[in-house]
């Protein structure tokens, strides 16, 4: 819906077209409220996930897995990127039309900045627009961090995750600075497309958020695929050459160099708040640069909420969706729902096979004082999981951390085919107090990955006494 009026009054103003904000906007729009959605980039309707995050990266995982040895890497990659871009473009259009097609909602494209607690100025292509709103949602997301390493920010070979998935040239040699989950996902994707991949991680190990036994199996899978992983690596400098970059790093007191056609900065993401002029609205931020919120996602100004990555919470689309439920409960419901209600939130790293986790690790459970039992098996030894053999991928392991006294499931790490799906069953069980014995003895369809629970949970490999 276009507009020629340079001032707009709204019941709800949403800054940033992310998952949480667009869900609240659509809900209130359907109820007849006057809603304005502002997005600074026409390439980001729908937010990070469908444009530069979950959808394109997981689509690339899918395409990379399909490449056969006889498929030329560059041709396969270029075609894959084109198909993924067509997919994200379609999603982007659907997201835009879903809101702008509503009579009660106006979508504006431009950079927004507060001028007072209820007013925002938007710099649109056809001139500025001023919006005054009763309720305002900040939903501007996060962006990749590029560390201040000499030469890294200025190098013509440095790319962020957003840049990399947008290029149609497959890097022959890809250096990844940062061995966190983003770095490892991209290492897995680009190695399967045919790149030579080296990961430089400053910490002593990769997959540091899981137990050592799970981390070792996950790392060995990637190393077996030909990915070079250098831990304890302190990146010192990036120097540009005529056709490649030289990455200088230090390990064990010695300097090393690495030649790369692309250098991926994969060292985390930071909330996008720089141009919002939050001080004009009296909205406080945290030391880490996120918008400060309470358990109901209200900022220091009660009529202004912050949803998604910008509020410093877990950077997942499904958490942003849950943020929208909390805000909607504040605006339309009883106001009881809060971030404190979140229990057993799962997470998946889309390496191949995926690594999905929920709850406590064994180390965390012991540190918390639990008497624990551990059920753990390599996928190749789980007789109850023929699906792994059917799809020809028996790599990985499953591990459950159980309370020895109550049989409560304290946590799980699933490194296996279909882990991204079956972890949700474990999380649901944890949220509703279903004990390990019930999960072990449940009836599952066959042949599926879920029925692995029948086997793994019958195997206690050690216990506290």
| Binding annotation | 58, 140-142, 178-185, 201, 268, 309
Measure the CA–CA gap between 201 and 103, rounded to whole angstroms.
Answer: 50
308: left (phi over 0), alpha (psi -120 to 50) or beta: left
Identify each DSSP E strand in 119-233 by its residue range.
119-124, 127-138, 142-144, 158-159, 173-177, 196-201, 228-231
Measure the CA–CA gap between 333 and 87, rounded to whole angstroms.
Answer: 36
Distance from CA of residue 179 to its chain's centroid?
A: 15
54: tokens are 């979950």
Q: To which residue do tokens 């209600």 refer?
A: 341
Query: Catalytic site residue 446?
Result: yes
- Residue ranges of the binding site for NAD(+): 178-185, 201, 268
Cβ neighbours of residue 157 under 8 Å, at least 6 residues apart? Answer: 238, 240, 244, 245, 260, 261, 262, 263
Catalytic residue among 62, 63, 432, 446: 446
**What are the φ/ψ torsions at residue 322 (nearest 5 degrees)?**
-65, -35
Measure the CA–CA gap between 57 and 337, rounded to whole angstroms.
Answer: 32
- Residue ranges of the binding site for FAD: 58, 140-142, 309
The two beta strands, 7-15 and 127-138, are parallel
Q: To which residue do tokens 């710099």 refer?
A: 123
19: tokens are 């998952």
Q: Catalogue the active-site residues.
A: 446
């Amino acid at each position: 819906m276009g507009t020629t009026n340079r001032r707009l009054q709204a019941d709800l103003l949403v800054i940033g077209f992310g998952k949480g904000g667009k869900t609240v906007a659509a809900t209130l729009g359907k109820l007849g409220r006057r809603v304005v959605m502002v997005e600074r980039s026409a390439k980001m309707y729908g937010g990070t996930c469908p444009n530069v995050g979950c959808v394109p990266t997981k689509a690339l995982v899918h395409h990379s897995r399909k490449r056969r040895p006889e498929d030329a890497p560059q041709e396969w990659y270029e075609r894959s990127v084109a198909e993924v871009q067509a997919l994200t473009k379609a999603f982007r259009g659907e997201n835009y039309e879903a809101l702008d097609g509503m009579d009660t909602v106006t979508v504006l494209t431009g950079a927004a900045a507060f001028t007072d607690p209820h007013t925002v100025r938007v710099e649109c292509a056809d001139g500025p627009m001023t919006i005054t709103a009763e309720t305002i949602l900040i939903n501007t997301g996060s962006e990749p961090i590029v560390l201040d390493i000499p030469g890294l920010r200025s190098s013509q070979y440095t790319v962020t995750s957003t840049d990399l998935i947008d290029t149609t040239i497959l890097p022959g040699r890809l250096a990844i600075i940062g061995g966190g989950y983003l770095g490892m996902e991209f290492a897995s994707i680009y190695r399967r497309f045919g790149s030579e991949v080296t990961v430089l991680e400053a910490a002593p190990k990769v997959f540091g958020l899981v137990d050592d036994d799970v981390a070792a199996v996950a790392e060995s899978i990637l190393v077996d695929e030909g990915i070079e992983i250098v831990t304890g690596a302190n990146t010192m400098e990036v120097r540009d050459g005529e056709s490649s970059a030289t990455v200088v790093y230090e390990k064990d007191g010695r300097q090393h160099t690495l030649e790369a056609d692309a250098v991926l900065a994969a060292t985390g993401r930071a909330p996008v708040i720089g141009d919002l002029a939050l001080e004009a609205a009296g909205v406080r931020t945290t030391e880490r640069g996120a918008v400060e919120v309470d358990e109901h996602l209200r900022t220091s100004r009660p009529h202004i909420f912050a949803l998604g990555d910008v509020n410093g919470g877990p950077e997942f689309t499904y958490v942003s969706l849950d943020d929208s439920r909390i805000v909607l409960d504040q605006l339309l419901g009883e106001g009881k729902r809060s971030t404190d209600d979140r229990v057993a939130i799962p997470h998946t790293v889309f390496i191949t096979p995926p690594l999905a986790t929920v709850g406590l690790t064994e180390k965390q459970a012991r540190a918390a004082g639990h008497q624990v039992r551990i059920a753990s098996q390599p996928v190749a030894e789980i007789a109850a999981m023929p699906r792994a053999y059917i799809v020809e991928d028996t790599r990985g392991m499953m591990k459950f951390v159980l309370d020895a006294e109550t049989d409560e499931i304290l946590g799980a790490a699933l490194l296996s085919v279909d882990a991204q799906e079956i972890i949700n069953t474990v999380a649901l069980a944890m949220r509703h107090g279903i004990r390990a014995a019930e999960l072990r003895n449940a009836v599952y369809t066959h042949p599926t990955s879920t029925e692995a629970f029948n086997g793994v949970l019958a195997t206690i490999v050690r216990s506290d006494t």
